Amino acid sequence: MAGAGTRHDRRVRSWVRDHAVLTYALLAYGSSWAWWVPMLVRGDVVRRGDGWPTHLPGLLGPAVAAVVVTVVIEGRPGVAELGARVVRWRVGWSWWLLVAGTAALALLGLVVPLLTGDDIPGLQAFSRYSGMGELGLAGMLVVAFVVNGLGEETGWRGFAVERLLARRGLTATAVVVGALWAGWHLPLFWINDSFRSFGALGILGWTIGLAAGSVVLTWIYRGAGHSVLLAAAWHTAFNLTSATEATGDVVPAISSTLVIVVAVAVVRRDRGRTRRSDRTPHGGRTSRRG
């Protein structure tokens, strides 16, 4: 019996290893949706500045899934390596400047009202975040970074992108992970007040923006030495431009447009590199698989 159990465990571990990203995605969906779907059934709606009901625990699903799958296929050494990437902060000052510059876009929430004649938001408005009570700006930043930043990026970039980059290019990896990432958000369109306000054009814009965000985050992750910490910091910085009460509707549109522009540049550069790598020194082409 013990031998049969051991063989079964080996088969399961082998299957998970061969289908690591698929297994991760199923667990990420399952663990996040286990929190969100009951909220949908109850008719709960998440709002900025309200601590309950909240969708935030569900955002930890990708991190949980990444750790579980890593334990199954790589054990403690794999978890230690993942943890090292989660805390990797020495990535070059230019990447941290990118994070700071992205966060600074949230200050447009003060500039736009000056141009439109609307009321200028107070500091408190910058701390009103979806699904979070009144924690003050510092408290909001900490919770958003841990839950929204590390909770998502440990899984989507730290696990899925990490594995796909080993055999795919940047753009292909970003497309695959972006599709999985978009589908994972689906219940939020019914339970998050910001998502519920999207019309058809809003959903289209969100989808394009998320696809572009997947490209930019994959580029950041690869360029910054596979640092989950840096990806989480940028993700949090970007959310400051769209998820707080202070930024309204104009600032998210501006920040999303900038992300799309950067994503297009990244894809063009990646395609150029791919074409050059396909050529031999004599101008011919090498054969490629897949």
* Closest CA relative to residue 61, chosen from 178, 131, 147: 147
* 244 contacts 129 by C-beta, under 8 angstroms: yes
State the virtual CA torsion across 79, 83, 85, 90 in degrees, nearest 10.
-150
Hey, where are the domains in the chain? 2-278
pLDDT band at 9 (very low <50, low <70, confident <90, very high): confident
> Per-residue pLDDT for 8 more than 80?
no
Show the tokens assigned to 237: 């910085």
Question: Whole-number mean pLDDT of the chain?
Answer: 90
pLDDT band at 287 (very low <50, low <70, confident <90, very high): very low
* Closest CA relative to residue 24, chosen from 77, 63, 79, 51: 63
pLDDT band at 220 (very low <50, low <70, confident <90, very high): very high
Q: What is the pTM of this model?
A: 0.90
Show the tokens assigned to 26: 């199923």
Give dist(CA 290, CA 286) in Å, integer.
Answer: 13
The pLDDT, as a whole number, for residue 1 is: 47
> Per-residue pLDDT for 283 more than 60?
no
Give dist(CA 213, CA 255) in Å, integer.
Answer: 11
Condensed to tens digits (0 to 9), the pLDDT of residues 54-96 reads 999 999 999 999 999 999 999 999 999 999 999 999 999 999 9
Q: Which residue has the tokens 């730290």?
A: 158
Please count the CA atoms within 13 angstroms of the CA of 185 that sit on its side-chain side.
Answer: 19
pLDDT band at 273 (very low <50, low <70, confident <90, very high): confident
Q: List, in order, residues 6 or more apart from 241 with CB less than 8 Å away.
A: 102, 103, 105, 106, 108, 247, 251, 252, 254, 255
The average pLDDT across 18-44 equals: 98
**Using CA of residue 246, residue 251, residue 252, residue 256, what is the dihedral sign?**
negative
Condensed to tens digits (0 to 9), the pLDDT of residues 189-215 reads 999 998 998 889 999 999 999 999 999
Give dist(CA 131, CA 193) in Å, integer.
Answer: 10
Q: How far is CA 40 from CA 29, 187, 196, in A?
A: 15, 7, 12
Q: Cis peptide leading into 53, omega within 30 of 0?
A: yes
The pLDDT, as a whole number, for residue 91 is: 94
Give dist(CA 8, CA 270) in Å, integer.
Answer: 42
* Closest CA relative to residue 17, chosen from 28, 9, 7, 6: 9
Condensed to tens digits (0 to 9), the pLDDT of residues 144-182 reads 999 999 999 999 999 999 999 999 999 999 999 999 999
Q: Look up residue 121 and give its DSSP letter.
A: P
Q: Between the ranges 111-115, 249-253, 275-279, where is the mean pLDDT highest?
A: 249-253
Give dist(CA 258, CA 279) in Å, integer.
Answer: 32
* 55 contacts 188 by C-beta, under 8 angstroms: yes
Give dist(CA 151, CA 56) in Å, integer.
Answer: 9
Q: Radius of gyration of the chain from Cα atoms?
A: 20
Show the tokens assigned to 73: 């296929």
Instruction: Indicate the range of 34-38, 247-251, 277-281 predicted with least confidence.
Output: 277-281
The pLDDT, as a whole number, for residue 197 is: 87
The pLDDT, as a whole number, for residue 282 is: 45
User: Percentage helix, strand, coil, to 5, in the chain?
Assistant: 75, 5, 20
